[in-house]
Amino acid sequence: MRTFIALRRWTIAFSLAALLSITVSERLAAQDQPDQDDPPTRVARLSYLQGAVSFQPAGESDWVDAVLNRPMTTGDQLWTDRDSRAELGLGTTIIDLSSNTGVSLLNLDNDTIQVQLSSGVIEVRVRRMRRDDDIEIDTPNQAFTINEAGRYRIEASPDGSYTVVSVFDGEGASTGNGSTYTIYGGQRVTLEGTDQLNAQTEDIYGPDDFDNWAYNRYQRYENSMSARYVSDEMVGYADLDSSGDWQPAMGYGTVWFPHVAAGWAPYHEGHWAWVDPWGWTWVDDAPWGYAPFHYGRWVSVGGRWGWIPGPREVAPVYAPALVVFIGGGPAGFGGNVGWFPLGPREVYVPSYRVSRGYFSSINVSNTTVTTTNITNVYNTTIIRNETSITNVTYANRNVAGAVTAVPQRAFVSAQPVGRAAVAVNAREIASMPVATRAAVAPTANSVLGARANTANHVAAPPAAIASRAIVAKKTPPPPPVSFASREKAMAANPGQALPRKEVAAIRPANATPAARPQIKQAPPARPATAVVKPGAHPPGAPGNRPGAPAANQKAAPATQPAPSKSQAPPPLRPPTAQQNNRPVPPPARAEQPQETKPANRPEPPKAEQKPAPPRPEANRPTPPPQRNEPAARPAPPPKKEAPPQKKDEERKKEEKPPR
């Protein structure tokens, strides 16, 4: 009997211990797993503006002047007016916009880039694709999926009746109305119709001005010296080359020092904007002012500010601003809001809710820091939900000129910080508490940004284009919720963005992807074959890829492989040309056939044929030729074959296999 009782007690004790162990393990595992409240680890950067470019924040109805370096995410829209151009940088993917072009970011997260192209022309350059990457361009009559790294041009007609896809290098597939057409490198395919998708293929020849401009923009990444010291997934690194110098600094490795005036300090020339789901976001004025303010850390070396990127071999995680705020609370100090940049090895605490795994990633990818330090800060600030920090000594807090402060009114209205800054003395800085966020509620102007005063006074897409339905293969997330709908809920925690769960509760019940009139889900599709225009190579035929590698050979990525952890960075000198690892440049203009129409467009029909449709504006795609009476054109000019690209074993494992 005693033996039975002892055995039973032991069994109960063992069961309780096992249950407790499982509970603790589940809690720890839950902390390490990504949470649905975690924001994306990347955003798009508005990296180039020319002419009249307008911007519409997610969920808003107002269009304002676009601002360089504005981070863009799901739901944001751009319009480039006549004789205007723009560029979006997304790490290893670059999107260039031509004139009269309207795009919207339907979905942008860690693995997905889904772009709505309502009208106009874009070029997409993909330097490298991971296995899980999904890049999709949706137009009014089809959804184009990029299958591998390469260079692509997509044109959506002004009336939405057809799409032209040109694959300079790479491979993709257009889907619409139950049909899927695979498009190979060297092909230009016109996809016509909205009720039934028909396709006609021809060879690519003769770049236009937009092609040449986009190609030259991309060469900055191919030839970038900064690529030796940062991850090629970091947005904006190519702009550092001409605006600073990489130099070794004792105890910090290789540091980038910007070419700035005396007395300059980080996070001083720009403005603050409210960007969901992160909250208060820094938008710098300098053309190079993106990477150093959303990645890495700043340090003062001999009275000169230098930027230290995170580990080169680690994919960077975007942060809205790597700063610490001083003053704390809605009152700030004397009605002002102040901040200073984080230094090396200092832990960044997001002002938005994040999981344990995200908290670790955003710090490990942007500085050298120990796991123990990350855990201690996480438990103190996130688990206990404390915004004030009392047990950390920050290196930059006492550096002369490091602290910047502006009146709260200037802060929330996105006014230029350099003009609105107020003087703060060392005594005020030392006596004020340090906080993880600026506890100031945003306004509508905070969302519109520095050009809020231009609302409804800028060029915007015509109503017919803005309301046009598009075809999507991948289901995009629900439409964004307007700031006015979220403003009251955000008042409970000033300065903190609403978690996704709370935003979902605010969203109207009928605001689902299926309920959006501008999104038409593509039905299940079957492979189809495009009609081959006379004189063109058939789909998939060898020899129709200009500068492509030999048959059955996988193209190497455009950038050079990252060195191993034990390999020291190369010397500080201009990179040696590696022609085999660069895309073949477009042929010179002099080599193009002399034509009265722009290159790469069909010839007018012969006299006995039906008259050609009216010629559109020069900055819009040409209407497709008559389907039953294809127009003839001269054979494309001979092209110089480039040597095969070298294999890249380190990148090859990461590349996405062809579909």
pLDDT tens-digit profile of 310-331? 999 999 999 999 999 997 556 5
Q: Which residue has the tokens 């960044």?
A: 348
Per-residue confidence at 622, pLDDT binned at 50, 70, 90?
very low
SS (H, E, C) 373-389: HHHHHHHHHHHCCCCEE
Question: Is the model more confident about 510 or about 109?
Answer: 109
Q: What's the confidence (pLDDT) of residue 379?
A: 87
Q: Which residue has the tokens 């819009």?
A: 620
Residue 231: DSSP 8-state = -
Per-residue confidence at 259, pLDDT binned at 50, 70, 90?
very high
The arithmetic mean of pLDDT across residues 408-434, rounded, is 91
132 backbone φψ class: left, alpha, beta (φ>0; ψ -120 to 50)? alpha
The arithmetic mean of pLDDT across residues 188-217, rounded, is 93
Which tens digit of pLDDT belongs to each residue from 516-538?
A: 558 999 999 999 999 998 877 76
Burial of 172 (0-12, 13-18, 19+ CB in 10 A): buried
Assess whether pLDDT exceeds 70 at residue 21.
Answer: no
**Which of 502-537 are b and which e, b meaning 16 or more Cβ less than 10 Å from the residue's Cβ?**
bbeeebeeeeeeeebebbbebeebeebebebbeebb
DSSP string computed for 611-649: PPPPP--TTSPPPPPPSSSPPP-PPPPP-PPPPPPPP-H
Mean pLDDT of the chain: 80
Q: Which residues pair with 475 in a beta bridge?
A: none
Question: Which residues does 401 contact at the CB level (< 8 Å), separation at least 6?
Answer: 263, 265
Residue 333: DSSP 8-state = B
**Which of 354-370 are b and which e, b meaning 16 or more Cβ less than 10 Å from the residue's Cβ?**
bbbebbbbbbbbbbebe
How far apart CA 68 and CA 78 sit, in angstroms, is 12
**Which of 455-486 are b and which e, b meaning 16 or more Cβ less than 10 Å from the residue's Cβ?**
beebbbbeeebbebebbbbeebbbbbbbbeeb
Q: What's the confidence (pLDDT) of residue 421?
A: 96
Judged by average pLDDT, the poorest of 245-254, 269-278, 464-473, 639-648 is 639-648
Judged by average pLDDT, the poorest of 172-181, 407-416, 418-427, 532-541 is 532-541
How far apart CA 185 and CA 202 sit, in angstroms, is 11
Which tens digit of pLDDT belongs to each residue from 438-484?
A: 999 999 999 999 999 999 999 999 999 999 999 999 999 998 999 99
How far apart CA 576 and CA 104 sit, in angstroms, is 38
- Strand runs labelled E in 293-335: 297-301, 304-308, 323-326
Which tens digit of pLDDT belongs to each residue from 373-417?
A: 999 888 888 776 667 777 788 999 999 999 999 999 999 999 999
Please list the helix, strand and coil fractions of the chain in percent, rounded to the nearest 5, in that order.
20, 25, 55
- H or E element, residue 303: none
- Strand runs labelled E in 557-603: none
Q: What stretches of 379-537 show up as alpha helix (H) in DSSP?
A: 408-412, 417-420, 426-431, 444-448, 463-466, 483-490, 500-506
Per-residue confidence at 30, pLDDT binned at 50, 70, 90?
very low
The arithmetic mean of pLDDT across residues 584-601, rounded, is 38
Burial of 385 (0-12, 13-18, 19+ CB in 10 A): exposed
- H or E element, residue 651: helix 649-652
How far apart CA 578 and CA 582 sit, in angstroms, is 7
The token pair that represents 353 in the structure block: 């809710």
Q: 10 Å Cβ neighbour count for 424? A: 18
Judged by average pLDDT, the poorest of 60-69, 208-217, 222-231, 562-571 is 562-571
Assess whether pLDDT exceeds 70 at residue 611.
Answer: no
Q: What's the confidence (pLDDT) of residue 433?
A: 85
DSSP string computed for 509-558: TT-SGGG-TTEEEPPP-EE--PEEPTTSPPTT-TT-STTPPSTT-PPPPS
Q: How far is CA 11 from the centre of its chain?
A: 56
